[in-house]
Amino acid sequence: MLAITFVLALGVAAPPGSHQTTGADMLRFCEGTGMSKEEAGYRFIECASYLNGLAEGLAIGSDAAGHGRPSCLPSVQVKETVASFESSLKAHPEDLTKNVAIAASNVLNRAYPCNKQK
């Protein structure tokens, strides 16, 4: 339910012609910029849920297509996943202007690459 709420709140499925949520939007959302402490806490949970859901979706889609997983999110603390997302976006400003799903996918692939099978 939180992931659905988050997707709707971010407008990931925005109608044509409307603002498309970017990596920069997601970064502000995950950091809780301009929010009360309580609101920022909720947004942090939604941010982590979005990232975990995206990682699972990418894994399922890639496995189903026979391409192998582009990223393998380890069993890490939620705070570490969000911190990794935030620092990677700041280190790769080219992702800030991309669609949030693409930006987050790039971040996950860089931060948690799967070992290549030999």
Number of CB atoms found within 10 A of residue 112's CB = 17
Rounded to whole angstroms, the Cα distance separating 71 from 65 reads 15
Please name the fold of domain 2-14+22-110. 10k-s Protein, Hypothetical Protein A; Chain A (1.10.890)
Q: What is the pLDDT of residues 30-57, one digit of tens each?
A: 888 888 999 988 888 888 888 888 887 8
**Mean per-residue pLDDT of the chain:** 76
For 78, residues 6+ apart whose C-beta sits below 8 A from its C-beta are: 45, 48, 52
Residues in the chain with pLDDT values less than 70: 1-19, 62-70, 73-76, 115-118
The domain ranges of the chain are 2-14+22-110
**Confidence at residue 64, expressed as pLDDT on a 0 to 100 scale:** 65
